[in-house]
Every structure is written in structure tokens, then in C-alpha cells.
Structure 1
Amino acid sequence: MAELTEEIGQCDIRGFIPVDDLQRLPELDALICVSLRNDLPELSVLHWKLVPQRVVAGIGCRRDTPFPLLATLLARQLEAQKLDPLALKAIGSVTLKKGEPGLIQLASCCRVPFKTFTAEALREFEHHFPGSGFVRKTVGVGSVSGPAAWLLSQGQLLGETLREQGVTITLGVAH
């Protein structure tokens, strides 16, 4: 997978045969797939899938947004990008949300850290994203999910931001 090329170059892969196309496999006894993706094609060889934790989610939400809604929307956003939920590495938001029960429960359920950033830190990258006057007035920055994902991934964002029911979710890939 292209996102993992740098990491593969740092590994001792003696004894392994790198495979770029799962549809045209050489003769193998077994296969280890390292992928962030949730979908592998049907394979005729014994195989295992390893999922590196590299996906980050910046999340903005209204106060007291319920955990089930956050979990459903995060799952939908991961699915839209064909990402395995096990690839999630961290969830980020604005410092004002550090005690937000739904976000804390979401991070706990996903077994990932919940990282928060000051409005000032998010403001540095908000120009890359559409902003909201209401959000700016409430939290001090016009956009939360995009800048949080940007900071967690050093600007390596994936897909479009989900905006639904007062929740925004932006995904990125961290290194």
C-alpha cells in the first residue's frame, strides 16, 4: 500500500516476497497483508491481515452529543474511506471538549487517546477549512475537526469532512 512504502523500506523483509497486486499473486505458502483498508479481496492462500494504527480523527461537536451518535458517525466516515476501524490511532478536538463525555467514551471504546488542542493551535490551520461563526463564537476558532486532524496527521488528510447532526469528522493519516 502506498501509504506504507516508507515504513516497509525501514523493515527487514528478508524471507518475504513483497506483493503489489493481490489479484496476481505469485505461488505462496501464506500471505501477510499489511493494510489500513477494511476490504481484502477473496484470497485462495492462507492469509493474515495486520492493521497499523495510523488513522486519526478530528472531531467537532455540540456539547453533550451522545456517544452512540458519535460512534455511528465515526464508523460511517471510516467506512466511506474504506478504512478498518482498527487503524484508528487517535481522536482529537479542541481543549474546551476535554471533558466531553461522548468524546471521552468514544476514545475509550476505540482504545485510542483523546488529544485536545488549544483554540490558538487550531487557529493556525483553520484557513484550510470552511468555518462557522457560531463555532468561532463558542470555542474561539471557526473550525475544529479539520485543524485537529491536520495537527494529528501533519496535514495528511483523507477524503471529505463529514458534517451531520452538529458533528464534524475529518480523517487523516499519521506517520
Structure 2
Amino acid sequence: MSYNDFERGVPPEISNCSNLEYLFIIKYNLTGNIPSSLGMLKKVRRINPSDNLLSGNIPDELGNCNSLETFTSGQNQLQGKIPPALGKLKKIQWLELFVNKLSSEILISVWQIQSLTLIIVYNNTLTGEQPVEVTELKHLERLMMFDNRFHGEIPMGLGVNRSLVAVDLIVNSFTGEIRLNLSHGQS
């Protein structure tokens, strides 16, 4: 349904599609909220409502999408925090929430999702320290957190991860020394 010019928000009735695996509604000029009823989609693997005018909070109910591997909602006007309920998504690999109005800290429950390979949250007003848990994400390849309000020291073990190929933390308020351990030691 992407790249059309529908004038309505994401219909909550989409949750009636119990076998839906892919929901792509990119560049649709959609307004309104991401409906909490999406949490009823137990088989959905990818949700992408990027490049719209969606606002409001990311619903906690998305944490009920047990099969979700990718949630991409960049270039919207989403507000509030990244809900801790997303930490229940044990299969999620891609979390893309760039260019929104998200604020608050990214809670530990999200940093503990071992399946994550990509975290893109740039151009928001997210805050907090980078927790040591990020160093334990063994599949993480890309960490793009620039242009936010993160602070504190960068965890020393961040560079140990063999899978990590890109990190961008510019335009934040990190302090201290850059103490990355970039030796690719034993796995």
C-alpha cells in the first residue's frame, strides 16, 4: 500500500488480518496514531509506516507482536518514549525510529534484546547514558544514535563486538575519553 495518497490514518481494523506478515505503508501522508490494535497481529514480521505524518506515542501493545523482526517508523512525528514493552520482542532485528520527536531514555529492556542487528534512532531528543548492555548485543551491526541528547561515557566494551560495522554517536553530550576496545578478540 506504499506510495499512495490515501487520506486516512492506519485503520485499527487492520488487526482483523490475523495472517498478515508484512505491513508496509510508506510515504502515505497518513496522520493520527499508530493504532494499539496492531498488537493483535501475532504473525506480523515487518511493520513499516515510515515517511508519514503519524504522531502520538508508540503503542505498548506492539510488544505483543511475537513474530516481529522489523519495526521501521522513521520520518514521522512520533512523540514520547520508546515503550519498554518492545523489550518483549525477542525476534526483532531492526529497530528504526529516526527523525521523530521521541524523548526520554531507551530503557534497559530494549538494550537487552539479543536479536538486534540494527538500532537507528537519530534525530530525536532521546536522552540517558549508553548502558553497558549495548556491549552484550552480539549480533549488533549498526548503532546510529546521532543528533540526540545522550550523555555520559561510551561503554569501553562497545568495540569488542565482531559484528559491529557502523557506530555514529555525533551531536550528543557524551563525555570522558574514547575508550573503545577495538580489538577483535575471541568470540
Q: TM > 0.5 between the two?
A: no
Between structure 1 and structure 2, the one with the greater Rg is 1
Q: Which has the higher helix share?
A: 1
Q: Of the two structures, which has the highest relative contact order with CA contacts closer than 8 Å and spacing of 6 or more?
A: 1
